[in-house]
Structure 1
Amino acid sequence: MTHDSASGAPALAVPVQAAPASIKATKEQRQTLLATGMGNALEWYDWGIYSAFAIYFATEVFNPRDPLAALLGAMAVFAVGFVARPVGGLLFGWMADHRGRRASMISTVGLASFGSLLIALVPTYSAAGAWAAAVLLTARLLQGLAHGGEMPSAQTYIAETAPAARRGLWSSLIYFSGTSGIVIGLLFGYVLNLMLSKQDMQAWGWRIPFIIGAVLGLYTLITRSRMKETETFTAAKATPRTPIWPEIRKNWRSALRVIGLGVGATVCYYVWSVSAVQQAVLIHKMDQGTALLASVLSNVVLIISLPFWGMFSDRFGRRANLLIGTGAPIILFPLLVNTVGQSFWSLFLPATLILVLMGSTLAISPAVFAEMFPTRIRTVGVAVPYAVAVAIFGGTAPYLQSWANAAFGPSAFIAYVVILLTISTLVAWKLPETKGKDLTK
């Protein structure tokens, strides 16, 4: 049973069966999915390398006389970049729903690539003073705009391309490619940590991953320019259009559900997948190379698990996945945070366990979000509330964790995460089942 988005009244849901011939991806579909995944991976790569390399460039861009204040400044810029995401979600979400998914995805990857190049060329504090931080802030705001539209556009494209019976599996590509981007960034950090001295890393080595990100972005832009528009959008474009704001107001319950599902999963994921290296080094005094390796391998295990969770949802439904992914960490998060120490295993084992369990939610989020909204506002309907959730909770997670640990100890931040996970679990419990929904309506 589902609920009408306008009235909330129960309505019968008729499962949609995909034609057997449509289940296997064609060569053209595989090429399109590759281009989609590359851009999404680049977005996550950008955020991952910023967090991982902030330890090195913080004292280069900010005043080096106070290393802790410099790091907090770098993390504040990291959080400010998320402020632009809702604006980017509205801008590029509107573009995706009016001009096409393809046009939006080309624009976002181009802007993100330019932001990476700007960070790679940012002047040092000794050379430019406060202007160095201003350049870094500008680059992060541009990336925030791009990333606010990238993931919603990409996940809408994937959901509309996928056969209904395999939408969960195909949607796992979003976090599969995204986490791969983080892993690639962490691997760069690990390799550079082995090859360069700490002095060289702080002086210029941290710029290398951002240069590579800019180059990969240009290649992805060219690849995406050869993509075709989804048939779902093309068919909807041929029908009379209605004003966007009445449609958004009509689907306000779905927007709140996107936020509710996102708050707990976003913070928990960022803690264990993005900022785990920084916290292990700063708080637990773990060796930088050891922390990077442990984080890389735990994310690799998560990547492997995602397609299986996608298939699980195609068989047993979306709600089962969501309840596992946000419910289990409520119990495990407080226990696992306290197991991190100085050894490889003290980070690898807890990170792997919680990330794999969270994978049940991460793998299918694109499918779940796409199934909540009609075609005419599918991208912007997801983009704005998702960007708000990520900006308020995900973007501030590394900063809040560092600040709360220093001011109150780890218990305060643990309680904060548990509360958010509980909210997400309650939303998942009340969510109507949407497996196999016809997205052409």
Structure 2
Amino acid sequence: MITTASTTPATRTSTRKTIIGTGIGNAVEWYDWAIYATFTPFIASQLFSKSDPASAVLSTLAIFAVGFVARPFGGFLFGWIGDRIGRKASMTLAVGLASVGSLMIGIAPTFAAVGAWASLTLLVARLIQGLAHGGELPSSQTYLSEMAPKEHRGYWATLIYTSGTVGILFGTLLGAVLNMTLSTEVMNAWGWRVPFLIGAAMGLYALIMRSRLHETDVFEGEASAEKRAPIWPQIVRHRKQALQVIGLTVGLTVIYYIWGVVAPSYATTALKIDRGEALWAGVIGNIVFIAALPFWGKLADRIGRKKVLWAGAIGAGIMHFPMTALLKDSAWQLAVSMSVMLIFIAASAAIVPAVYAELFPTSIRTVGVGVPYSICVAVFGGTAPYLQQWLGTTVQMPQLFNVYAVLLLAISAVFVFTIPETKGKDLTL
């Protein structure tokens, strides 16, 4: 539980509601990523033509990327709602829409039954989820940052990736359990649908929890004239901060997708590691990641944001090639390489939600983060699994993708020089 020594019972209750309401919705979004990546082979075999399995997998990954195209639109829409109507309203609507997308995938007809309509249903569902996910992160991290004590905002910010990783971990564990208990025939018939139906139910629960949250004092205290100020002129005025969000995100989003999201699936499809063993290795790596997050969050509250961001980007860049070389043909190699990489990735992941919020004023904070962040994730994060698969299996030049990832980390490290040190910043100013 994230608390301080002087917390009163009433404040503890409010803190608990904030953590649960913010965390559960964020977990649902990341759970959606994990199960799509984990169950890609089954989705490909059921919602695309079986005549060319390799093409079906690439098409499934392409729709994973296409879903990210909707994220910038979601960042603007839900950012506008968050900055005009309220952080709570934006968070609640976003998680509700995401659950609709999960339900659509869970009940989608197969390619054998309706042909290309099955693929189209998947595409529409991912676009809906992309729209919702584009608004989820900026809304939830803005809400959390404004609710946090300024002296502990870096620590509180770790809830975003902690809850998100719990969602990924749950999705990965579910995949491992289903893989162990159900036959391949049953998985192909209906087993692969179970995680998406669970995701829809979790989204409904998150919607109810978020509807009970209180709006942040920072937002409610903002002058009415400021809140009515046109959005676009403010976005233009804060274009430097928007560019900084993109620069700080570009390396993190690609390296995180590589090692935190798609590594077990890639190990299965490209390296032929047993599916169940790869999923359990992914569980180990994500547990290490969760354990590392609060360490970096507390450290950033003590020594500052910039030093921690540099440690994460430089450390991940240095270790990427050795860990990639280690990963060859066994699950223990996957567990070790994921764990080492995720320790360094955790440095940036722990505090960027706070850093983003600290770059913008209250009147533009949600949309100011949401639009550039979503654009960056759509262009670089959404395409990462496809590029990795294509360069590794089709072009047979996997090292090109590794060079690409490390160069993006270098760009993020350089951008750290451009931001001010915001440790302990008062967000009402």
Aligned position for 2:82: 96
Aligned counterpart in structure 1 of residue 20 of structure 2, from 17, 34, 40: 34
1-structure distance, mates of 2:343, 2:184: 33
- The within-5 A match list for 1:57-206 is 57-206=43-192
Match of 1:325 in 2: 312
Tell me how far apart the structure 2 counterparts of residues 394 and 202 of structure 1 sit (CA, whole Å). 28
1:284 CA drift (Å): 1.3
CA pair 428-202 structure 1, distance change in 2 beyond 3 A: same
Q: Which residue of 2 aligns with 1:3?
A: none
User: C-alpha offsets along residues 148-180 of structure 1, whole Å, 9 cap, x if unaligned?
Assistant: 000000000000000000000001000000011
Q: Is the 8 A contact 1:323 1:429 kept in 2?
A: no
- What is the aligned length? 423
Give the match's secondary structure for 1:440: coil
1:427 aligns with 2:409: no
Tell me, which stretches of 5 or more residues in structure 2 are unaligned?
A: none
- Mapped to 2, the partners of 1:53 and 1:163 lie a distance apart of 40
Q: Is the contact made by 2:263 and 2:282 (CA closer than 8 Å) also made in structure 1?
A: yes
Trace 1:270-419 onto structure 2 (pairs within 5 A).
Answer: 270-406=257-393, 407-419=395-407
Q: Read off the aligned partner of 2:422 and give its amino acid letter.
A: T
Cα shift at 1:239: 4.7
* Structure 1 range deviating more: 405-414 or 122-131: 405-414
Per the alignment, residue 209 of structure 2 pairs with 223
Please report the RMSD computed on the Cα atoms of aligned residues, expressed in angstroms.
1.4
Say whether the 8 Å CA contact 1:23–1:166 is kept in structure 2. Answer: no
**Does the 8 Å contact 2:70/2:127 carry over to 1?**
yes
What is the alpha-carbon distance in structure 1 between the residues aligned to residue 330 and residue 223 of structure 2?
56
Alpha-carbon distance in structure 2 between the residues aligned to 1:342 and 1:198: 22
**What residue is the counterpart of 2:200 in the other structure?**
214
Deviates more, 1:379-388 or 1:281-290: 281-290
Q: For 1:45-64, what aligned pairs fall within 5 Å after superposition?
A: 45-64=31-50
TM-score by length of 1: 0.94
Q: Secondary structure at the match of 1:364?
A: helix
Paired AA for residue 128 in structure 1: V
Does the 8 A contact of 1:22 with 1:163 survive in 2?
A: no
Measured against aligned partners, the alpha-carbon deviations of 1:181-236 in whole angstroms (never above 9, x if no partner) come to 00000000000000011221122111000000001111111111111100000001
Give the Cα–Cα distance (whole angstroms) in 2 for the partners of residues 430 and 387 of structure 1: 20
What is the match of residue 440 of structure 1? 428
Q: Give the aligned partner of residue 249 of structure 2.
A: 262
Quick one: distance in 1 between partners of 2:50 and 2:182? 20
Where in structure 1 are there 5+ consecutive unaligned residues?
1-18
**Partner Cα distance (2:161, 2:309) in 1:** 15
Identify the residue that residue 30 of structure 2 maps to in structure 1.
Answer: 44
Shift of 1:431: 2.2
Whether the 8 Å CA contact 2:18–2:144 is kept in 1: the answer is no
**TM-score (ref. length: structure 2):** 0.96
Match of 1:377, SS state, is helix
Mapped contact 1:374–1:439 kept (Cα < 8 A): yes
Q: Measure, in 1, the Cα distance between the counterparts of 2:168 and 2:26.
A: 11
Whether the 8 Å contact between 2:301 and 2:423 is mirrored in structure 1 is yes
The one-letter amino acid of 1:39's match is G
Aligned CA distance change for structure 1 residues 146 and 82 (closer, same or farther; 3 Å): same
Cα displacement (A) at 1:23: 9.8
SS in 2 for 1:363: helix
* Counterparts of 2:141 and 2:120, CA distance in 1: 32
Among 238, 250, 256, the alignment partner of 1:251 is 238
- The residue type equivalent to 1:256 in the other structure is L
Classify 1:436/1:417 alpha carbon distance in 2 versus 1 (closer, same or farther; 3 Å): same
Q: Which moved more, 1:234-243 or 1:254-263?
A: 234-243
Range with greater deviation from structure 2 (195-204 or 265-274): 195-204
Q: SS at 2:265's partner residue? A: helix
Deviations 1:365-424 (A, max 9, x none): 110000000000000000000001100010000000000112042111011101111100
Contact 1:23–1:163 (Cα < 8 Å) also in 2: no
Q: Deviations 1:83-110 (Å, cap 9, x if unpaired)?
A: 0000000000000000000000110010
Please state how far the C-alpha of 1:20 moved relative to its aligned partner.
7.3
Give the whole-Å Cα distance in 1 for the aligned partners of 2:105 and 2:357: 33
- Structure-2 separation of matches of 1:339 and 1:162: 40
Structure 2: how far apart are the matches of 1:280 and 1:249? 43
The more displaced of 85-94 and 319-328 is 319-328
Q: Could you tell me how far 1:238 is from its partner in structure 2?
A: 3.9
SS in 2 for 1:266: helix
* Whole-Å separation in 1 of the counterparts to 2:23 and 2:291: 15
